A and B are shown apart, each in its own frame.
Chain A
Amino acid sequence: MKTTKSNNEDWDLVLESGRADKHYWKDLWRYRDLFYILSWRDIKVRYKQTVLGAAWSIIRPLLTTIIFTIVFSKIAKLDNPGNAPYALMVFAGMLPWQFFSNALSESSNSLIGNANLITKVYFPRLIIPASSVITSLLDFAISFLILIVMMFWYHYIPSWHIVFLPVFIILAFLCAFGVGLYLTAVNVKYRDFRYIIPFIIQFGLYITPVGFSSSVIGEKWKFLYALNPMVGIIDGFRWCILGDPMNWHSFIFSFVVIVIFLIIGIAYFRKMEKSFADNI
């Protein structure tokens, strides 16, 4: 018994069915260059192929912001608890939402889009959805520039809370990553699932406070509403950028939901990962 055990330790790699791979996280580190290079490939190819390229990531949030401002501020006459202009408030919510929805749709299709890699080479599969979320960060950065321009336009000086913005960007990243991992794994198994994803994203926009402040939601529904993790993130963005009041209780709710999504996403992805090559 003892000899077989020491024998096993002589080997660098043991492949068995259902074996929990203790090398996985080490491998992830060894393949760290691949994160960078796959995101770089996606960015490069995207901006090479579309003439609009960067312009697209400016036009889309800008137009949506204008429409939302008109609809929610002028037509629905919803009030704005902070002292920032309404358009600025909409845009501060639009930023994380656009990032989330882009990252989600990119990452949920990422495995299918890279099927040729999955069936031909080994590397930790987690890299593919992760790098597609990283790619979406670039669009986020471009949109962020518009925010700065808008601030100049409105002569608006951000509050000192802005130093905490990276925390919320990371949260938005983790949120998109967690949900994206789950969806992309489901997408490999059930190929018609991708038709549902745009619907999920569109539905999400309606239950997320992008065009309005979450303060318009009644006190009774606050906590239920915070189960949508993007509520906490968007509130956080507005707190950082505009100094709007922040409901920390409901933020903790959102935070817990993000962590749960992330854990479920990683666990499900790791479980399904082994059969990706057979199913894809």
Chain B
Amino acid sequence: MSKIIEVRGLSKSYIINHEGKESYTALRDVIAQKAKKIFSFPNWKSLNKTQEEFWALKDIDFEIEQGDRVGIIGRNGAGKSTLLKILSRITEPTNGSIKIKGRIASLLEVGTGFHPELSGRENIYLNGAILGMSRAEIKKHFDAIVDFAEVEKFLDTPVKRYSSGMYVRLAFAVAAHLEPEILIVDEVLAVGDAQFQKKCLGKMEDVSKNEGRTVLFVSHNMGVVSQLCTSAILLNKGTIDYNGKVASVVDKYLRNQSATNDFNYNEVVNGIKPNFIESIKIKNTEDQFVSSFSFDQQIVIEFTCQINHYSPDLLIGIGMQDKSNSRVFTVVKEIDFFMDNKSGQLRGELTLPQSLFAPNVYSFVFALWTKMGVIHDVAENVCVISIHDNGTSLAAFEGADYGSVIINPTWKSC
């Protein structure tokens, strides 16, 4: 095996403007500032106060061998996207170097450059050219692309009339038929139906195993990463936390997810609502605040609410949602259960049964409302947790969509 990518001391910094709301520089501001500088030179230093340097990546070193399938994982803001952008030459590093052998194609978004007014056929050529294919190459793969995307009938329809599934299929199909030595894929598989996701993963595995291509893959979906990749890099705040075999990196990532995604009420809004949800925390049975659980662990939800206008009609509802925001369950309890007849702070706990929820990522919905349907406060998509597989009967299907619960029914042969 030979090295195909070598990264040494890679850093990238961005200048963040604290003052301006706009993300871009306006000429009038620059002129105004220059004028200010001329007329008030003693305090010119104050101008720099609003700017801050932010290191999206700091001193990254790693190597990738030919044919590797490398997962890049990390929380939001860990620097994954920045790394991909530098690797795919969209932006330049601030320091350090990257050495690459062979052609790189990156798929940071499905359907980059797709034009809604143009037909499927026209978009294949357009997208292919944007991704770096020559017209001859596209012609050669045209039938395979159409076949893979399953859009034969709609080739001459403008893509604005496509369903989102068809759109994604077509876009991925073009990218899948690129023939680079290195393929960089951002979290694009999150879209599309499960069947097509499977097809894409299969294609990526095929590309790497049979054709010896190198794949770099970014995802939040640990199931998919474990399934597809051979090794992984865990990024955290712009540095590499861990780099090694995929199983150990994924495990590390899940374990490191501490309780930072607790829900806490925004104090500014505090005075506006009479009754509100103060905090929601997720912990395990040993009272440790964590956000990743194994399948056979109990999940405990600890919550506090501030009730300033007590009413016996008040209800507390807690729901769990899966990744696609479908409700897994909802439970409701009367407020009387927690407090009697007077305003004040409400504290409670909800313990969920173990060995029931399928390994996946879930979030919670929390609501305070009355029997009449008047909503006092709602917190949606909070406290994201992940449940990981530690040997369920469906472990072999990890990453596939087999539902949100695993049950142990009684089988009988008749």
Binding site for B on A (CB under 8 A): 8, 10-18, 30-31, 33-34, 37-38, 41, 44-45, 48-49, 116-123, 189-193, 196, 274-275, 277-280
- A15 touching B100, Cβ below 8 Å: yes
10 A-B pairs with the lowest CB-CB distances in the bound complex, closest first:
A190-B27, A122-B89, A11-B99, A15-B98, A13-B100, A37-B129, A191-B24, A120-B112, A192-B26, A277-B91
Q: How far is the CA of A122 from the CA of B84 in the complex (A)?
A: 11
- B104 touching A16, Cβ below 8 Å: no
A274 interface neighbour in B87, B92, B113, B135, Cβ under 8 Å:
B92
* CB-defined contacts of B390 to chain A, threshold 8 Å: none
Q: How far is the CB of B169 from chain A (nearest CB, A)?
A: 19
- A37 touching B117, Cβ below 8 Å: no
User: Is B106 part of the binding interface, using a Cβ–Cβ cutoff of 8 Å?
Assistant: yes
C-beta contact mask, B80-108 vs A, less than 8 Å → 1, else 0? 00000111111111111111111110101
User: Is B14 part of the binding interface, using a Cβ–Cβ cutoff of 8 Å?
Assistant: yes
Q: How far is the CA of A66 from the CA of B57 in the complex (A)?
A: 61
User: Is B28 part of the binding interface, using a Cβ–Cβ cutoff of 8 Å?
Assistant: yes
- B115 touching A15, Cβ below 8 Å: no
- B95 touching A120, Cβ below 8 Å: no
> Which residues from 14 to 28 on chain B have a C-beta closer than 8 Å to any C-beta of chain A?
14, 22, 24-28
- B106 touching A122, Cβ below 8 Å: yes
- B118 touching A33, Cβ below 8 Å: no
* CB-defined contacts of B14 to chain A, threshold 8 Å: 278
Q: How far is the CA of A18 from the CA of B85 in the complex (A)?
A: 16
Q: How far is the CB of A49 from chain B (nearest CB, A)?
A: 7
* CB-defined contacts of B259 to chain A, threshold 8 Å: none
Q: List 12 A-B contacts (CB under 8 A).
A: A15-B87, A16-B98, A17-B95, A37-B129, A37-B135, A41-B115, A121-B90, A122-B90, A122-B106, A190-B30, A191-B24, A279-B25
The range of chain B's interface size is 35 or more
- B122 touching A44, Cβ below 8 Å: yes
- B101 touching A17, Cβ below 8 Å: no
* CB-defined contacts of A275 to chain B, threshold 8 Å: 91-92
User: Is B126 part of the binding interface, using a Cβ–Cβ cutoff of 8 Å?
Assistant: yes
Q: How far is the CB of A73 from chain B (nearest CB, A)?
A: 40
* CB-defined contacts of A121 to chain B, threshold 8 Å: 88, 90, 106, 108, 112-113, 130-132
- A34 touching B129, Cβ below 8 Å: yes
User: Is B134 part of the binding interface, using a Cβ–Cβ cutoff of 8 Å?
Assistant: yes
Known: A190-B30, A191-B24. 12 other contacts (CB 8 A): A11-B101, A16-B97, A17-B93, A33-B134, A41-B115, A41-B122, A44-B117, A44-B122, A121-B130, A190-B24, A192-B27, A192-B28
- B25 touching A15, Cβ below 8 Å: no
- B88 touching A122, Cβ below 8 Å: yes
With A11-B99, A15-B100 already in contact, the answer to whether A190 and B129 are too (CB < 8 A) is: no
Among B91, B104, B117, the most chain A Cβ lie within 10 Å of the Cβ of: B91
* CB-defined contacts of A30 to chain B, threshold 8 Å: 132
C-beta contact mask, B353-364 vs A, less than 8 Å → 1, else 0? 000000000000
User: Is B109 part of the binding interface, using a Cβ–Cβ cutoff of 8 Å?
Assistant: yes
- B90 touching A15, Cβ below 8 Å: no
Q: How far is the CA of A14 from the CA of B92 in the complex (A)?
A: 11
Q: How far is the CA of A279 from the CA of B25 in the complex (A)?
A: 8
Q: How far is the CB of A135 from chain B (nearest CB, A)?
A: 14
> Which residues from 109 to 133 on chain B have a C-beta closer than 8 Å to any C-beta of chain A?
109, 112-113, 115, 117-118, 122, 125-126, 129-132
* CB-defined contacts of A11 to chain B, threshold 8 Å: 6, 99-101
* CB-defined contacts of B26 to chain A, threshold 8 Å: 190-192
C-beta contact mask, B269-280 vs A, less than 8 Å → 1, else 0? 000000000000
B90 interface neighbour in A10, A18, A118, A196, Cβ under 8 Å:
A118
- B117 touching A49, Cβ below 8 Å: yes
Q: How far is the CA of A209 from the CA of B261 in the complex (A)?
A: 67
Q: How far is the CA of A75 from the CA of B88 in the complex (A)?
A: 61
Q: How far is the CA of A280 from the CA of B90 in the complex (A)?
A: 12
A13 interface neighbour in B91, B99, B115, B122, Cβ under 8 Å:
B99
Q: How far is the CB of B44 from chain A (nearest CB, A)?
A: 21
* CB-defined contacts of B129 to chain A, threshold 8 Å: 31, 33-34, 37-38
* CB-defined contacts of A191 to chain B, threshold 8 Å: 22, 24-26
- B28 touching A16, Cβ below 8 Å: no
* CB-defined contacts of B99 to chain A, threshold 8 Å: 8, 11, 13-15
With A15-B86, A16-B97, A17-B94 already in contact, the answer to whether A189 and B25 are too (CB < 8 A) is: yes
B92 interface neighbour in A17, A49, A118, Cβ under 8 Å:
A17
* CB-defined contacts of A279 to chain B, threshold 8 Å: 24-25
* CB-defined contacts of B131 to chain A, threshold 8 Å: 121
- B118 touching A41, Cβ below 8 Å: yes
With A117-B113, A191-B22, A279-B24 already in contact, the answer to whether A123 and B132 are too (CB < 8 A) is: yes
- A13 touching B104, Cβ below 8 Å: yes
* A11, closest chain B residue (CB): B99
Q: How far is the CA of A38 from the CA of B117 in the complex (A)?
A: 14
Among A10, A38, A121, A189, the most chain B Cβ lie within 10 Å of the Cβ of: A121
Q: How far is the CB of A35 from chain B (nearest CB, A)?
A: 9
* CB-defined contacts of B112 to chain A, threshold 8 Å: 116-117, 120-121
Q: How far is the CB of B153 from chain A (nearest CB, A)?
A: 21
* CB-defined contacts of A190 to chain B, threshold 8 Å: 24-27, 30
A12 interface neighbour in B89, B100, B118, Cβ under 8 Å:
B100
* CB-defined contacts of A10 to chain B, threshold 8 Å: 101
* A190, closest chain B residue (CB): B27
* CB-defined contacts of B126 to chain A, threshold 8 Å: 37, 41
Q: How far is the CA of A22 from the CA of B180 in the complex (A)?
A: 20
Q: How far is the CB of A98 from chain B (nearest CB, A)?
A: 25
* A10, closest chain B residue (CB): B101
Q: How far is the CA of A274 from the CA of B28 in the complex (A)?
A: 24
* CB-defined contacts of B125 to chain A, threshold 8 Å: 37
Q: How far is the CA of A200 from the CA of B95 in the complex (A)?
A: 39
Among A14, A18, A41, A191, the most chain B Cβ lie within 10 Å of the Cβ of: A41
Q: How far is the CA of A10 from the CA of B6 in the complex (A)?
A: 12
Q: How far is the CB of B87 from chain A (nearest CB, A)?
A: 8
